[in-house]
Amino acid sequence: MARLVAILGALWRAQRRDQKSFESVASNNFFFVSAIFLQKAGTFIYLILGLVVLFPMSTDPLRKIPRSRLTLWPLDAGERRLLRAISPWVNPVTWVMAGLAVWMARGSVSLGLWALIAGIIAVGFVLSEIPAPAHGMLRRVPPFPTALNHLIRKNLREMFATLDFYCALVVSLAASLFRLFGPPLPPDALVPLTILVVLALSSYAQCLFGLDGEGGLGRYRLLPLAGWQILAAKDAAFLLIAILLTLPLAPIPGLSATLVALALGHGPSVNEHRAQTRWRFSCGASVIYGVIQAGALAMAATNDQRIVLGPAVLAFMGSLAYYGRRFK
């Protein structure tokens, strides 16, 4: 039993460290802008954030132990079965699920809501048990006909490994499905939804090199490429994702907002190399800078595009050239 207690204690400490990494949501543009400006009207936004965060938090705690090491531990068959049964309770999400089950029994939570949350938790738990493919799904990004092909593909894979992308994806899909199957939306509603999609991605624009690490930054400087080309490869991945997600909504205002978000994000990305964690929300430079960036992209999306789009392109190109020189 002492061996099991030691293992469960180590799992608990690892789980606590992992949960602290979710605190990045507090410095994410999508969270605090929604909290400041939408307040009670942002219930749907908070639900999206909760669902996006809940999925990675539902992983099996035993996945933190390499399988090769787990098989070498001196545990008999009974201890391994007991560890398998107890380990899910190290994850606080399991206790939340149990509490919701009690509330459901008392009639405080509907069966449908409980089933939805339970399904998300179960999917996260089961998927964490499935071995990853040898080459990984994210490596199947199609090639691009440019000399920056491999850099763009790598940057796309990095964006796919952030919760910012999935938050924007949920907003875009929800709005698209509502347009298809719900009552007709007024044209004025598409631009605010587009702003929410770009806003969900905007914090990542402030830390474009955050997932590369110090080794990645060193390798960039060894490449026979100018600094603006390396930065342009980051921008190309960001633009591609933003354009695809805003295409069913208001693509031209979305393009203007994305260009402004990138123009303002180049400075923190190049001057402040803040390390980011995969499968978490991106941390912005500061709350004040995030509010400025959010306000600027919102103004770019809501004003007349015949006037705004040109200056947005010029601001983006000027920022790319200036910070591209500073990067190398």
Burial of residue 115 (number of CB atoms within 10 Å: 0-12, 13-18, 19+): exposed
Q: Which of 93-97, 185-189, 290-294, 309-313 shows the lowest mean pLDDT across its residues?
A: 93-97
- Closest residue by Cα to residue 205 from 235, 226, 230: 235
| Mean pLDDT within 31-49 | 66
Q: Which of 23-37, 108-122, 174-188, 211-225 shows the lowest mean pLDDT across its residues?
A: 108-122
Spatial distance between the Cα atoms of 209 and 114, rounded to a whole number of angstroms: 39
Q: What is the pLDDT of residue 312?
A: 97
Q: Which long-range contacts (CB under 8 A, 24 or more apart) does 177-181 make?
A: 179/248
Q: What is the pLDDT of residue 52?
A: 64
| Mean pLDDT within 187-194 | 88
* pLDDT surpasses 90 at 198: yes
Q: What is the pLDDT of residue 20?
A: 58
Give the tens place of pLDDT for each residue, 286-296.
889 999 999 99
CA distances from 254 to 184, 199, 261 (A): 20, 10, 10
* pLDDT surpasses 60 at 13: yes
* pLDDT surpasses 50 at 11: yes
**DSSP of 172-192:** HHHHHHHHHHSSPPPGGGHHH
Q: What is the pLDDT of residue 125?
A: 59
Work out the mean pLDDT of the chain and round it to a whole number.
Answer: 82
Count of beta carbons in the 10 Å neighbourhood of residue 188: 9
Confidence of residue 126 (pLDDT cuts 50, 70, 90): low
* Choice between 151 and 101, residue whose per-residue pLDDT is larger: 151
Give the tens place of pLDDT for each residue, 131-158.
555 455 556 677 888 889 999 999 999 9
| Mean pLDDT within 173-189 | 86
